[in-house]
Amino acid sequence: MKKIIFGVIGILTITLIIYMVLLNYNEEYQFKKKMRKSGYNDEEIITVMEMIPKKDYDIILKREYNDSLIDIISSDDFKENYLDMYLDYYEKNSDEDIQNIITIVNSGYDLDDYPASSLLAKLVNEKYYIYKNTARYLDYGNSHKETPRKIVGLVNANVDLGFYNKVLASDLNDNNLILVNKFYYLDKTYEPDDLIILSGQYNGGVNNRLRKEAAEAFMKMASAALLDNVYIKNISAYRSYDYQVNLYDKYVRRDGKEKADIYSARPGFSEHQTGLCLDINSADDSFKDTKEAKWLQDNAYKYGFILRFPKGKEDITGYKYEPWHYRYVGTDAARIIYDNDLTLEEYYAYYVENKKS
């Protein structure tokens, strides 16, 4: 009896296998037949069948013949689950390079309404690309000869809008990462409630107050520098709105508004009002050549400070290079800014503002 049962099971199993083989053969045969009817040659059909699973055959068959399909699925960057999106985007951008289309679709962003281009393909691969800024990137990039990284940096920092245009109140909830620049301002009444005095070996100026966390970090940094025979001290930290009025007006009278704006902030737009930044040792260009300046560039980030207005980033910060001006942002942010050669504007746009939206 057992032999009969096992025999029946064996026959059924073999029958099922034969059926599946025939079914599979019939599906492939029917697919090939339909593909030939659509206009594909045998070589193209083989390529499609090697790259596309059966479940996606309908995606191919519902479209008219297009030899660019072969270019798409033959690309090293082809992703099977994006097949429909490649084809949809290609239909809207049939004159564009296939690789650009694949790169844009592979970004994972919903860019269907944006025409494919080599510029867009480069932009989506930038580390600090922000989707909501796409139209601005393209507008700026198409009218300025800049690298994709520079385009992303400038637009993220709002430079394309023009300094002091479309200004917004700084978000006080950002705490150590509060952004104050030529687009974000502080109310004239703002003063941090945790300012403490830098004294003794840590200070050499009248404006000698910093917010508590920043002050403690600066004193720790200055003590560490001393162990390396480097002496650093504050010469100007917190400044009130009224103080900045007098300072800025003095510079305008001396050099004119256009020149003054390069090195001095307008009242309410001065980072010094945050109580999180300070000028160190000497506010003179010669400071850049000192051992103190070199030590700060190499070590300040370890204590949560960044060089706020670095050389080569003047078009992003809106200010000339100031080797003496350091800003406290905390060690985590300072490390990212240092490692990736960012300004606070670039960091804030991607890691703070972008996360809010």
Clarify whether residues 110 and 183 are in a common domain: no
Q: Does any domain span residue 137?
A: no
Portion of the chain with pLDDT greater than 90, in percent: 75
- What pairing do the DSSP bridges indicate for beta strands 234-236 and 277-280? antiparallel
Query: Which position has the higher pLDDT, 275 or 27?
Result: 275
Domain assignment of residue 297, given as a range: 162-356
Looking at the structure, tell me whether residues 24 and 75 fall in a common domain.
yes
Q: 106 and 53 in one domain?
A: yes
Q: Which two tokens stand for residue 167?
A: 């200004």
67: number of Cβ within 10 Å: 10
Of the residues 125, 154, 172, which one is the last residue of a structural domain?
125
Structural domains in the chain (count): 2
Say if residue 193 is in the same domain as residue 291.
Answer: yes
Q: How far apart are CA 246 and CA 336, in angstroms?
A: 36
Same domain, 97 and 201: no
Considering the domain architecture, whether residues 240 and 344 belong to the same structural domain is answered as yes
Residue 235 has pLDDT above 90, yes or no: yes
Predicted confidence band at 8 (pLDDT cuts at 50, 70, 90)? low
Last residue of a domain, one of 79, 108, 125: 125
Does residue 150 sit within a domain? no
Residue that the structure tokens 């010669």 belong to: 286
114 and 174 both lie in a single domain: no
Same domain, 335 and 187: yes
DSSP classification of residue 193: T
Residue 130 lies in a domain: no
pLDDT for res 16? 53
Residues in the chain: 357
Is 292 a known active-site residue? no
Q: Establish if 142 belongs to a structural domain.
A: no
Same domain, 175 and 116: no
Give the lowest-confidence range in 20-34, 40-54, 223-237.
20-34
Say what the pTM is: 0.87
Whole-number pLDDT of residue 17: 56
- 116 and 169 in a common domain: no
Q: Which of 322, 345, 346, 353 is catalytic?
A: 322
Query: What pLDDT, in 10s, does the model give residues 170-185?
Result: 999 999 999 999 999 9
CATH number, domain containing residue 203: 3.30.1380.10
Give the residue-averaged pLDDT of 24-47. 75
Reported confidence tier of residue 12, pLDDT bands at 50, 70, 90? low
Q: Which of 101, 125, 149 is the last residue of a domain?
A: 125
Tens of pLDDT, residue by residue over 85-137, are: 998 999 999 899 999 999 999 999 999 999 999 999 999 999 999 999 999 99
CA–CA dist 105, 97 (Å, integer): 13
What's at 202, amino acid-wise? Y
- Dist CA 186 CA 101 (whole Å): 44
Rg for the chain, CA atoms, rounded: 31
Residue 21 confidence class, pLDDT cut points 50, 70, 90? very low
Cα distance between residue 322 and residue 302, in whole Å:
20
207-234 pLDDT, tens per residue?
Answer: 999 999 999 999 999 999 999 999 999 9
Band (pLDDT 50/70/90 cuts) for residue 5 is low
Q: Are residues 258 and 320 in the same domain?
A: yes
